[in-house]
Amino acid sequence: MNITRNDIDELNAILQLDLTTEDYLPVVKESLKKIRKQVQMKGFRPGMVPIGLVKRKFGESVMVEEIEKIVGKGLQDYLQENEVKILFSPLMVPQNNLAFSAVEPSDFTFNYEIGLAPSFELNYKEDTLIKYAIEISDDFIQDELNRLRKRFGKENEAMPPLENEDILSIRLEELGEDGLLKEEGVTNESLIAVNLIKDEAIQNQVLQLELDGQLDINLKKAFNRNEEELLKFLLNKAGKEAENLGMDYRITLLSVKRVELADMTPEFYEQVYGDDSLDTEEKFMKRFRQDLEELSEARSDQQFVLDIYDHLLETIHMDLPEDFIKKYILQSKENTTEESIEEEFDDIIKSVKWELIRNKIANENEIKVERTDLEDFALEDVQKLYRQYAFNITIEQAKPQVQEMLKNQKYVEESYGKILDRKLFDMLLTQIKSQPQAISFEEFTKLN
């Protein structure tokens, strides 16, 4: 077998693979002998079917299978031995004149397109990026404390005037195009939170309602959600039941529920932290502030990681074999069209570019993902799953599930990338220079 590389340009090449009968016939003959020992044909004892019959019946399929194995290994060995770095896998150039015959074997020539990985330089170590230092103001602490007290507070019936965080029980009645109640239209009772109404004018009108008060609204305008979600959650209609339903409804205020903030008592402190040593407001607030500071620092680190990612993609320049990438995705992914590839192509290119950058940084810094890393990662996933159901699982109990998960090649590949990213950014956080910049929590939440 001989493989020749023909470069089209710096990013594309053709590998020509010349395969002679000497390359594949010996393994084909051995495979046919094994089949002969097992095959059963009428008129012949087991294992005594003439090899000619076996060859005519199974020869072509065996030849194709063995040639595919030989070609695949040959391409892999060639790329490794010659240190050819490619994107994805080689694509076979279609040929119409191929004829596989075990009775009359012949030499073959196959051509494969390859997309070459570009060369590029890493130049991030001298860069300086802004790292946001989130300020924890007294107002912010009070807002977060009120949210927490609301979470542990009691829900009581209330009377108008309405407040922004009230939960309203309403009746919805479908309106016709004339603005009147639609005959045989949809009616349903549901709950809505005032602060989820996105249209300011409609929200102000709702806040003016009295019990049994009515208001005509357009649901899509009021909540700024897609029609399918609104019909499902407010009217309990989906699928065929939701067909032909409009967005205009008359709402009637039936009742109001308001959450009374939990009192600042030792019982509340223990509810929050499960720690009965926090028996004074001073101790509780010290712990609460500390938690907010740690949360803010973690959010700052997460944002810095995102900024590093964006910075590397923007500042590291490389050319990619875009036509090859499109062709590869079109041939390798089911239900993919040229139109869908074009729509997603910017994200595809970003993903390819990031993988190249990530792998180069990892290689230069000897960052590796070991089997133990995959096991630890799978263990985290198992424990997270059980924690959702308030159940703590021990390492020994989780081991069988971990091993089963690691048999799934797709899970292993996805986990490998996540672990590599985690290790990579842990290293980059120490290598890339940062310039602190103070920012309020409110402004910070608007960054993305």
* Judgement on whether residues 431 and 282 belong to the same structural domain of the protein: yes
Of 116, 141, 168, which one is at a domain's C-terminal end?
116
Chain centroid offset of residue 408 CA = 17
* Judgement on whether residues 82 and 183 belong to the same structural domain of the protein: no
* Judgement on whether residues 33 and 159 belong to the same structural domain of the protein: no
pLDDT in tens, 56-113: 788 788 888 899 999 999 999 999 999 999 999 999 998 877 778 777 888 999 999 9
* Judgement on whether residues 101 and 170 belong to the same structural domain of the protein: no
What token pair was written down for 57?
């019946």
Number of domains in the chain: 3
Q: Look at the block and give the residue holding tokens 């609301």.
A: 150
Least confident of 133-142, 186-195, 329-338: 329-338
- Position 148 in a domain: no
- Position 326 in a domain: no
- Position 62 in a domain: yes
* Judgement on whether residues 112 and 53 belong to the same structural domain of the protein: yes
Instruction: Give the CATH number for residue 206.
Output: 3.10.50.30
pLDDT band at 393 (very low <50, low <70, confident <90, very high): confident
* Judgement on whether residues 180 and 235 belong to the same structural domain of the protein: yes
Of 193, 226, 260, which one is at a domain's C-terminal end?
260
Of 236, 260, 284, which one is at a domain's C-terminal end?
260
For residue 336, the model assigns a pLDDT of 85
* Judgement on whether residues 292 and 413 belong to the same structural domain of the protein: yes
- Position 220 in a domain: yes
- Position 49 in a domain: yes
- Position 301 in a domain: yes
In the predicted model, is pLDDT for residue 389 greater than 80? no
* Judgement on whether residues 171 and 192 belong to the same structural domain of the protein: yes
* Judgement on whether residues 77 and 108 belong to the same structural domain of the protein: yes
* Judgement on whether residues 95 and 175 belong to the same structural domain of the protein: no
In the predicted model, is pLDDT for residue 390 greater than 70? no
* Judgement on whether residues 165 and 287 belong to the same structural domain of the protein: no
pLDDT in tens, 355-388: 999 999 999 999 999 999 999 999 999 998 888 7
For residue 4, the model assigns a pLDDT of 94
- Position 255 in a domain: yes
In the predicted model, is pLDDT for residue 243 greater than 80? yes
Count Cα neighbours of 277 within 13 Å in the Cβ-side half-sphere.
2
pLDDT in tens, 302-320: 999 999 999 999 999 999 9
C-alpha–C-alpha distance, residues 435 and 170, integer Å? 51
- Position 178 in a domain: yes
For residue 211, the enclosing domain spans 154-260
Find the mean pLDDT for residues 112-140: 91
* Judgement on whether residues 11 and 63 belong to the same structural domain of the protein: yes
Instruction: Give the CATH number for residue 83.
Output: 3.30.70.1050
